[in-house]
Amino acid sequence: MPPDALALIRRAKAEKAKQSTADVTPPPPLPCPAFAKTPPLPPPLPSPPLVPSIYVIPDFVSQEDEELLLAHIAAAPPERWTGGRPGRRTANWGGLPGKVGVVEPLPAWISALVDALVRSGAWPVDVVGGPPNHCLINEYEAGAGLTPHTDGVMYAPHVCTLSLGSDVVLDLHLPSAAKDADASAQPHASLLLRRRSLNVYAGPAYSELFHGIAPRAEDVVREGIVNLTQDDERGEVIPRRRRWSIVFVHKLGASYGGAAA
């Protein structure tokens, strides 16, 4: 076939592909969740020591809001996600954790959740020094764990974590026990985080307790879980499913554009 004919065929194919792309209508943007019925902050949890600065708010978001949040997470671009941990990957909004002086604006759907945290009293702006400016989303495969750790001095000592997709038991460890322990070590106390619940920890609980998740296929509702209610059946077996946690923190010394505040 003559070279000029090949060129014409290539050009025609390119024009057809261009036209096909132009004819594709992009999907409409996902709406922001309403968070119309977020409950207020309850009293702090009782003993053991340090746990009184921890709160758990059941059903902080509705099932409809949960579904919409999961749709936004599923629509996140692949470059947001980092792996490297067995059974877990993480996405960041607000800037990478190591870049202390710079944050990026949060997207509208995350900002809507920030507003709900502030309205409910779960995030006291005056006490913390500002609203959340950094959001981390962790995706856990069923049965995946989390090594006991603290979130460090980069953030203000106040964290809100929203659980989606599955219930899980979160374990709290004293520093002396967590130093050489893995996620399966005997905890100081435990929390039952039902899906759609909000976990708030601040002050001494932030700085003096390690938090982790034991790797296992199921959790059992047992003594030692400090936020059980009359509705929680002791001995209940909770199969682990894929779970997402949306973690809100306030990065200290951060500003939009690079100059530290």
Report the pLDDT value the prediction gives residue 260, as an integer from 0 to 100. Answer: 26
The CB-side HSE value for 27 (13 A sphere, CA atoms) comes to 4
Beta bridge partners of 212: 171
The gap from C-alpha 135 to its chain's centroid, in whole angstroms, comes to 7
Report the pLDDT value the prediction gives residue 2, as an integer from 0 to 100. Answer: 54
Q: Could you read off the pLDDT of 191-242 as tens digits, one per residue?
A: 999 999 999 999 989 988 999 999 999 999 998 899 999 899 999 999 999 9
Report the pLDDT value the prediction gives residue 43, as an integer from 0 to 100. Answer: 84
Q: Is the dihedral of CA 119, 124, 129, 132 positive or negative?
A: negative
Is the separation of the CB atoms in 173 and 187 below 8 Å?
A: yes
Residue 8 CB partners (closer than 8 Å, separation 6+): none
Is the separation of the CB atoms in 240 and 218 below 8 Å?
A: yes
Calculate the dihedral angle through the C-alpha atoms of 179, 182, 186, 187, rounding to the nearest 10 degrees: 70
Q: What is the CA radius of gyration of the chain?
A: 22
What would the CATH number be for the domain defined by 40-255? Answer: 2.60.120.590
The CB-side HSE value for 155 (13 A sphere, CA atoms) comes to 27
Query: What is the pTM for the complete model shown?
Result: 0.83
Domain spans, the chain: 40-255
| Alpha-carbon gap, residue 258 to 9, rounded angstroms | 51
Instruction: Provide block-wise average pLDDT over 10 residues at a time, the chain (261 residues).
Output: 57 62 62 82 80 91 95 94 88 74 83 94 93 95 93 90 98 77 76 97 90 96 92 95 97 52 26
Report the pLDDT value the prediction gives residue 207, as an integer from 0 to 100. Answer: 87
Q: Could you read off the pLDDT of 52-69 as tens digits, one per residue?
A: 899 999 999 999 999 999
Classify each residue of 95-109 as buried b or exposed e, where b means 16 or more C-beta atoms within 10 Å of its C-beta.
bebeeeebbeebeeb
